[in-house]
Amino acid sequence: MKKFDIPIYYRSPIISKVKAKRKLEDPRKKDFSPSLVQLGNIDFIISRHFGFCYGVENAIEKSYAAINDNPDKRIFLISQMIHNPDVNADLQSMGVRFIQDTDGSQLIPWDEITNEDIVIIPAFGTTIETEAIIRSKGLDVQKYNTTCPFVEKVWNRSAKLGESDHTIIIHGKHKHEETRATFSHSQVNSPSLIVKDIEEAKNVANYILGKTTIDQFLAAFKDKLSEGFDPNTHLKKIGVVNQTTMLASETQDIADFLKETMVSAFGEVNLSEHFADTRDTLCYATNDNQSATLELLKNEADIAIVVGGYNSSNTTHLVELLEPKFNTFFIRNENEIKSKDEVHVFDIYSKQVVIHNEFIPEKDHLKIIITSGASCPDSVVDRVIQKLATLTGVSFDIDELA
């Protein structure tokens, strides 16, 4: 796999050695069991796969190349490059400005962008409409296009489905940048519909099976349908693709459920005429991170810590996987750890940061699970580990440890 040129301060003395050792021992990634790092009386149980994925490293490399190659130009990102506050803050400190927020609301009017500027497309990709605006400014769309190759793979699969007259059902959050981009690309080739979860998939199934009216269907999917979507004709032949950062198992559950719906509606013998197999749209990094997180559940631990941006979809799903078994803390970085007793944690349900006054248990020997999202630098995870060790009175030499 390609080696990316990313700033050295995103690397880490501990995690980089752990990952290098695991890669040497298991180059084909067959072993999803976690790594164990012992610091004093703490066993850190570290996920086999976490942190920057291929698409994120590609985006970082191109973004910093844009900065280094154009010292005298204004540089803009369409929106956050990835969902990590430390990375985005670093880019902003170098003068990069965001044109839109993560919901697509305009922060800088397009009229202010000129053909002398640099515009970077983030890892999530962007809509066809936004690409057209960039081109209308006389700017090169591709030079600093950091769209993840696996997002583009979903777009290409959608286009193929459109060629065979399939309607595209996108499993994703309809306001997420990646889903908006995928929807924009897919609806050019085929009628398209966004479903957030299995409950919304059931709404689709109920209409296919004649259990709800067209008005009920259209109300349930307001703002989630391509223009001119006709459920009477467009739900007879479907394929499911996904926002690559969603739970892979949930995407598969939705696809399997809709497949059974089509069997009920049209018969097993006619299934191939009504439903497309789209397992090939699942992102390898999302799969690996989630599989490694499931492997963590086979262990025993006192607490679990998930590190990453609070608006990161893939990181949120790691929390969802861990919290049924472990007392799980979702933190942005080491600064959220205030003391052994106090930590500021993001609640994925209320979408608020809450204060926990019971954090590190008083035990002679601690077991702490550590993982992070695909947009979190290893250096941040490293600092979290070091802070936890320091707070519990563990002394260590970082160079000797590495």
Looking at CATH, the fold of the domain delimited by 54-136 is given as Rossmann fold (3.40.50)
Q: Determine the pLDDT at residue 81.
A: 82
Q: Determine the pLDDT at residue 398.
A: 65
Query: So which residues are the catalytic ones?
Result: 178
- Asked if 8-53+285-401 and 152-282 have one fold, the answer is yes
Q: Determine the pLDDT at residue 303.
A: 97
Mean pLDDT by 10 residues, the chain (402 residues): 73 87 90 92 94 87 92 93 86 93 90 95 93 94 91 92 94 92 94 96 96 94 94 95 87 94 94 85 80 96 96 92 97 96 96 95 94 92 93 75 57
Q: Determine the pLDDT at residue 209.
A: 95
Q: Determine the pLDDT at residue 82.
A: 81
How many Cβ atoms sit within 10 Å of the Cβ of residue 364? 5
Looking at CATH, the fold of the domain delimited by 8-53+285-401 is given as Cobalt-precorrin-4 Transmethylase; domain 1 (3.40.1010)
Domain residue spans in the chain?
8-53+285-401, 54-136, 152-282
Question: What pTM was estimated for this model as a whole?
Answer: 0.86
CATH annotation of 152-282 = 3.40.1010.20
Q: Determine the pLDDT at residue 343.
A: 97
Reported as a single tens digit per residue, the pLDDT across 23-77 is 899 988 889 999 999 888 999 999 999 988 888 888 999 999 999 999 999 999 9
Reported as a single tens digit per residue, the pLDDT across 261-290 is 999 999 999 999 999 987 767 677 788 899
CA dihedral sign of residues 181, 187, 192, 193: positive
CA 48 from chain centre, in angstroms, equals: 17
d(CA 192, CA 183): 7
Q: Determine the pLDDT at residue 221.
A: 95
